C-alpha cells in the first residue's frame, strides 16, 4: 500500500475523531475512568474483551489523584480475560472475562465496588486482512457506600463555628446501596497496507441500559444515566524496529462527556516470542483529555509482561489549586498461552494493537 494512501487513511481517521469531539459539550465523566483507558477493555467496550495476542490476559490497574488538594481519590481494578476457539476448523472464537474494580473518593469515603463478567463472540470475516466482527455483552453488580460518621452538614455550623456534636439532620434512608448494570458493544478490526502493516479497530458500546436507581434517599427519579462509548485505534508499523500507535475514546453520559486522544511511538528489540510478539518493546507517548489533562506515558513490554506508567498534568480550571498535579497511574499486564493444544494460537489469531 503506497505511503500516500496510508497517510490518507490516517487523515480520515483523525477527521472522524474531530467530528465526534464536535458533538460533545462538557468534559466531565460520571463513571470511573482511567487515563490508560486502552488497558481497561470491559469498561470501554465488552466487545474488546479477548482481543489480544495469546490465550489469557491478567491486567491490574491502580490510580491515585488529587492528593495535592484533598484526600486522594483511589481507583483500582483487576481483569481476567481468555479466548476459546469455537472448533478446530474455524478461526472464530469466544472470549470470556471478569473485571472487578474498587473506587474510593472524598472525605466521607464514598466507595464503589463492582464486578463485571463479560462474554463475546468474534466472527472471522476475511482471511487476507485478518478482519473480525465482535459482539460483546456484560452484566455487572455494584455496591456503593459511605461513612456517615465522617459527614459534616450546614446544621453543624453555628455562630461559634463547627460543632461536631450537633446533629447532622440528614434523612438518608441508608448509607449503602447496590444495583445491577447491563452493557453491550460491537467492534470491527482489520488490517491494510503492505504486509498488513496498518492495523485498526473501531467500536461502539452502551452501558447502564436499565438506568438503575442510585439514590441513598430511595428516590425513584435519581438514576444512573445511560453511557455511550466510541473507541478507535490504529497501529502502523513504520519499519522492522519502529511502530506508531494512535488511540481515542469518547464517552457520553447524560449531559456530560469525556474525550481522550493520543498515541505512542514504540521500539522493539529481539525476535518474536511464542505469542508472535517481540521479546522487548519500549513505548513513549502522551494522551490528552480534552480541557482537563495532558498525560505523558511510558510503557515497557518484556516477553509476556507489560508495565505502564502515566501521570495526569492537570490543565483544567482546577490547575490553580492543584498546581498542575493530577494523579499517578500504573498498569501491569500479563499474557500467555495455555499448554492444552486446543488453544492453539494459529486457530485464534486476531489483530495486535501493540505491535
204-222: per-residue pLDDT in tens?
999 999 888 887 777 777 8
pLDDT at 34 over 70: yes
Position 345 scores a pLDDT of 55
Query: Phi first, then psi: what are they for 169, rounded to 5°?
Result: 60, 35
What does the pLDDT look like over 271-318, one tens digit per residue?
Answer: 666 666 778 899 999 999 998 889 999 999 998 899 999 999 888 665
pLDDT at 165 over 80: no
CA atoms within 13 A on the CB side of 83: 29
- Rounded to a whole number, what is the largest CA-CA distance in the chain? 79
341 or 83: whose pLDDT is higher? 83
What is the rounded average pLDDT for all residues in the chain? Answer: 81
Position 22 scores a pLDDT of 44
Q: Say how far apart CA 182 and CA 81 lie, in whole Å.
A: 19
294 or 148: whose pLDDT is higher? 294
Element (H, E) at 334: strand 325-336
Q: Would you call 36 helix, strand, or coil by DSSP?
A: coil
Q: Quick one: what percent of the chain has pLDDT higher than 90? A: 41
Q: Which residue has the cell 511510558?
A: 298
DSSP state of 226: P
Could you give the residue ranges of the DSSP H alpha helices within the chain?
3-22, 41-44, 319-322
**Poorest-confidence range of 18-32, 176-190, 336-350?**
18-32
122: Cβ contacts below 8 Å, ≥ 6 apart: 50, 51, 92, 93, 94, 95, 132, 133, 134, 350
Position 33 scores a pLDDT of 80
Q: Say how far apart CA 251 and CA 87 lie, in whole Å.
A: 36
CA 102 to chain CA centroid, Å, is 14
46 or 325: whose pLDDT is higher? 46
Q: Which residues pair with 203 in a beta bridge?
A: 187, 231
8 or 131: whose pLDDT is higher? 131
Cell of 162: 463547627
pLDDT level of residue 333 (50, 70, 90 thresholds)? very high
Amino acid at each position: 500500500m503506497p505511503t500516500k494512501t496510508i497517510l490518507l487513511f490516517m487523515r480520515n481517521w483523525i477527521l472522524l475523531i474531530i467530528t465526534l469531539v464536535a458533538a460533545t459539550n462538557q468534559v466531565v465523566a460520571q463513571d470511573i475512568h482511567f487515563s490508560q483507558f486502552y488497558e481497561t477493555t470491559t469498561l470501554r467496550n465488552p466487545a474488546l474483551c479477548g482481543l489480544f495476542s495469546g490465550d489469557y490476559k491478567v491486567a491490574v490497574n491502580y490510580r491515585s489523584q488529587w492528593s495535592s488538594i484533598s484526600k486522594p481519590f483511589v481507583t483500582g481494578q483487576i481483569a481476567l480475560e481468555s479466548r476459546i476457539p469455537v472448533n478446530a476448523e474455524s478461526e472464530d472464537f469466544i472470549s470470556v472475562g471478569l473485571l472487578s474494580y474498587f473506587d474510593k473518593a472524598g472525605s466521607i469515603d464514598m466507595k464503589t465496588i463492582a464486578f463485571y463478567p463479560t462474554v463475546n463472540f468474534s466472527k472471522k470475516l476475511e482471511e487476507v486482512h485478518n478482519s473480525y466482527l465482535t459482539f460483546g455483552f456484560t452484566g455487572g453488580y455494584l455496591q456503593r457506600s459511605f461513612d456517615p460518621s465522617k459527614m459534616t452538614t450546614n446544621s453543624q455550623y453555628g455562630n461559634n463555628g463547627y460543632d461536631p456534636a450537633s446533629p447532622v439532620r440528614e434523612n438518608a434512608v441508608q448509607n449503602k446501596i447496590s444495583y445491577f448494570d447491563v452493557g453491550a458493544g460491537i467492534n470491527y478490526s482489520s488490517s491494510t497496507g503492505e504486509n498488513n502493516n496498518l492495523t485498526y479497530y473501531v467500536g461502539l458500546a452502551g452501558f447502564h441500559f436499565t438506568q438503575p436507581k442510585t439514590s441513598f434517599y430511595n428516590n425513584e427519579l435519581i438514576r444512573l444515566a445511560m453511557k455511550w462509548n466510541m473507541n478507535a485505534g490504529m497501529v502502523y508499523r513504520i519499519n522492522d524496529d519502529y511502530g506508531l500507535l494512535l488511540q481515542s475514546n469518547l464517552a457520553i453520559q447524560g449531559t456530560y462527556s469525556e474525550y481522550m486522544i493520543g498515541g505512542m511511538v514504540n521500539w522493539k528489540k529481539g525476535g518474536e516470542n511464542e505469542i508472535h510478539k517481540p521479546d522487548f518493546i519500549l513505548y513513549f507517548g502522551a494522551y490528552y483529555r480534552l480541557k482537563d489533562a495532558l498525560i505523558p506515558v511510558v510503557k515497557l513490554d518484556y516477553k509476556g509482561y507489560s508495565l505502564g506508567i502515566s501521570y495526569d498534568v492537570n490543565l483544567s480550571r482546577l490547575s490553580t489549586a492543584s498546581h498542575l498535579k493530577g494523579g499517578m497511574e500504573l498498569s501491569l499486564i500479563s499474557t500467555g498461552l495455555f499448554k492444552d493444544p486446543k488453544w492453539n494460537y494459529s486457530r485464534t489469531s486476531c489483530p495486535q494493537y501493540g505491535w
